[in-house]
Structure 1
Amino acid sequence: MKTTGIHHVAIVCSNYEKSKKFYVEVLGFSIIEETFRAARNSYKLDLRVGNGDQIELFSFPNPPKRPNTPEACGLRHLSFEVDDIDESVAYLTSHGVQVENIRIDEITGKRFTFFKDPDDLPLEIYEK
Structure 2
Amino acid sequence: MGYVFKAENYKKPNNPPEEPKNPPEEPKNPPEEPKNPPEEPKEPPEKPEEPPEKPEEPPEKPEEPPEKPEEPPKNPEEPDEPIEPHEPNQPGYPGRPGEPNLPKTGVKSEMMNIWLGIIMLLGLCVFKKKCM
Give the TM-score band, short-chain normalised: under 0.3
Structure 1 or 2: more strand by fraction: 1
Q: Normalization by structure 1: what TM-score?
A: 0.15
Q: Normalization by structure 2: what TM-score?
A: 0.14
Higher RCO structure, 1 or 2 (CA under 8 Å, sep 6+): 1
